[in-house]
Chain A
Amino acid sequence: MSKAYANLAGATGFMAVMIVLPLVVRGRYFVGVLTLGLIYGIWAASWDFMSGLTGRENFGHALFIGAGAYTAGFLNTIWMANPWWSLPAAACVAVVFSLAVGIPTLRLSGPYFSLATLAAAAIMQRLTLIFWERTGGEDGLQGIAPLLKSPLELYYLCLFSLVAVVAILLAISASPWGMILRAIGGDELACRASGHNTTLYKVAAFAIGAAPAGLGGALYAHHQLQVGPQLLSVFVSVSVITMAYVGGIGSMYGAAIGAILLTVLTELLRGAGEWRLLVYSTVLVLMLFFRPHGLVAPLWQALRGGSE
């Protein structure tokens, strides 16, 4: 019970800090960086839900991110839809993509799933360049309308979305459903021998993880007011995976906080100029070497006392 209270206190503390932070540290630029951190948080937590729990690594989360962002872009610039339609539409399109990739590949064992996700995102990125007349090619879609009047309002919308997404994913992972997903991660064959259709669970988890990624993509589009093919790149997929690892695999909240920390770290290092990538990479390598289970979630569990 005390752990539940500790978790509640931790969540409240996190919320308080995130609500106050942009008010204390003023400046459009800083709010923009934090908003980006929150969006990456949604992506990392949603990646962690499927891949962290079931252990089947998705190397193409950028596919759902990009699908969501381009959905928002098309809706907004071509069909001139109300920007709020972007959010549900982006989530739905991402789910459709996840089913198209997941149903044929998640029944297979071995590396096919990881390879297929990697390839799917790369193909989609290529397609945005091939059909440049519609997608804007390298330049992407420009002139997307903002969702809300001020950047600060968008920041709070992203904060609310992140908290809601993490809360929902955590609730599912704590349910019997989540227990079966963790069992698949522990030993898939033994999970099947316990009477569970593991393929169905994996496909469903993949779709559930894709929806927030698409939603985050739409938030990103309305944050940057443009979408480009770099959003579908391997770099985005790998960044998201890195953030989840830094946070602690399978914890969701760790992935979200890891994403915020790494986004802010990247920005802080901007002053280091050419040294930035070197410092960033060194920090990551040292961390993964000495703390292979990540930083955020293990640290929190140690503070609170005991895991789970």
Chain B
Amino acid sequence: MSALLQAIGLSKHFGGVYAIRNVSLSISAGKITGILGPNGAGKTTLFDLLTGFLPADRGEVRLGDTLLTGKRADRIVNLGCARTFQLCRPFTGMSVVQNVMVGCLAPRVRDLKTTHARALHLLEEVGLGDKASLPAHALSQGDLRRLEIARALGTKPLLLLLDEPFSGLGAHEAETLSALIRQLNRDEGITVLMIEHRLRDLMLLAEHLLVMDSGKVIADGEPEAVMREPSVVAAYIGTRENGHAAARDTEP
């Protein structure tokens, strides 16, 4: 497997505190990779560095052969690297389909004649076809997640970065979202990198797992193997718990 996204020696500090410390990673094309870690481990900061929403202090990021470091966030999106946010950020005051159209209007993929049709098609794909003309603020949390994903898909990403897509979702909503992510990965060949707290959902989806703690990557590999590593068990689940028993629990 070739690496689609590669980061070498990324660091970022806020004041005297390192949020990210010398992180290197390599995301294989065509896979679903999960990032796991306790609160404050630096997962979202890592996303911000990868997508150009924050400048890195040191290190570099490449998408294929293209250097992303130093590029503006909107340029990085147009190179094929789209993201969603931990808290849904719909465009208030606009309809659901208009929200997705804004993604479809990204300069790299813009085609004014088909924008509306493409947006409707994407809404069908994520299961919001019947809600296209509703105002965005009328959607439930689960629907907002799917709206965010549809908007990101509008930019035709090679790599989709999802920041805690399951947070705030009920079990049923999480299941349909899992199915959607798997379908995007399998049928459309979109590489997925996702941060997730909910172990069970992540273990079912991810083919590769990175575990972060205190701004560093402490484990990297096959999910089953990674979850057995003592350092992971200690950092994420706690020292007294048995890795397997805890892995079956879903974080509240």
A contact set with B: CB distance below 8 Å: 176, 179-180, 182-183, 185-187, 189-198, 250, 308
B155, chain A: closest CB distance, angstroms:
5
Compute how far the CA of A191 lies from the CA of B154 in the bound complex, rounded to whole angstroms.
12
Question: Contact: A190 with B89, CB < 8 Å?
Answer: yes
B83: interface (CB < 8 Å): yes
Question: Contact: B91 with A197, CB < 8 Å?
Answer: no
- Among A186, A250, A308, which residue has its beta carbon within 8 angstroms of that of B91? A186
**Binary CB contact string for chain B from 76 to 120 against chain A (1 if under 8 A, 0 otherwise):** 011000111100011111110011011101111010100100000
Query: Which of chain B's residues have a CB closer than 8 A to the CB of A183?
Result: 91, 94, 99, 102
Query: Which interface residue of A179, A180, A189, A193 has the most chain B CB atoms within 10 A?
Result: A193
A sample of 5 inter-chain contacts (CB < 8 A) reads A179-B94, A183-B91, A193-B77, A194-B77, A195-B82
Question: Contact: A197 with B72, CB < 8 Å?
Answer: yes
- Among B72, B90, B106, which residue has its beta carbon within 8 angstroms of that of A186? B90
B209: interface (CB < 8 Å): no
Question: Contact: A176 with B105, CB < 8 Å?
Answer: yes
8 nearest interchain CB pairs? A195-B106, A186-B91, A195-B77, A190-B89, A183-B102, A194-B103, A187-B89, A183-B91
Measured as residues with beta carbon below 8 angstroms from the partner, the interface class of chain B is 35 or more
Question: Contact: A182 with B91, CB < 8 Å?
Answer: yes
Query: Which of chain B's residues have a CB closer than 8 A to the CB of A180?
Result: 102, 105
Question: Contact: B53 with A196, CB < 8 Å?
Answer: no
Compute how far the CA of A190 lies from the CA of B155 in the bound complex, rounded to whole angstroms.
12
Q: A185-B93, A195-B107 known; 7 other A-B pairs, CB under 8 Å?
A: A183-B91, A193-B53, A193-B85, A193-B89, A194-B105, A195-B74, A195-B82
Our count of residue pairs bridging A and B at CB distance below 8 angstroms stands at 85
Question: Contact: B74 with A198, CB < 8 Å?
Answer: yes
Question: Contact: B106 with A187, CB < 8 Å?
Answer: no
Compute how far the CA of A196 lies from the CA of B151 in the bound complex, rounded to whole angstroms.
13
Q: Is the interface of A mostly helix, strand, loop or mixed?
A: helix
Instruction: Return the chain B residue nearest A307 by Cβ.
Output: B135
Query: Which of chain B's residues have a CB closer than 8 A to the CB of A179?
Result: 94, 98, 101-102, 105
Query: Which of chain A's residues have a CB closer than 8 A to the CB of B105?
Result: 176, 179-180, 194, 196
Compute how far the CA of A198 lies from the CA of B85 in the bound complex, rounded to whole angstroms.
18
Question: Contact: B94 with A186, CB < 8 Å?
Answer: yes
B136, chain A: closest CB distance, angstroms:
8
Question: Contact: A196 with B93, CB < 8 Å?
Answer: no
A252, chain B: closest CB distance, angstroms:
15
Query: Which of chain A's residues have a CB closer than 8 A to the CB of B99?
Result: 183
A180, chain B: closest CB distance, angstroms:
6
Question: Contact: B85 with A190, CB < 8 Å?
Answer: yes
Question: Contact: B90 with A189, CB < 8 Å?
Answer: no
- Among A185, A186, A197, which residue has its beta carbon within 8 angstroms of that of B74? A197
Question: Contact: B89 with A189, CB < 8 Å?
Answer: yes
Question: Contact: A176 with B89, CB < 8 Å?
Answer: no
Question: Contact: A196 with B92, CB < 8 Å?
Answer: no
B32: interface (CB < 8 Å): no
Q: Known contacts A179-B98, A179-B101, A183-B94; is A193 also within 8 Å of B115 by CB? A: no
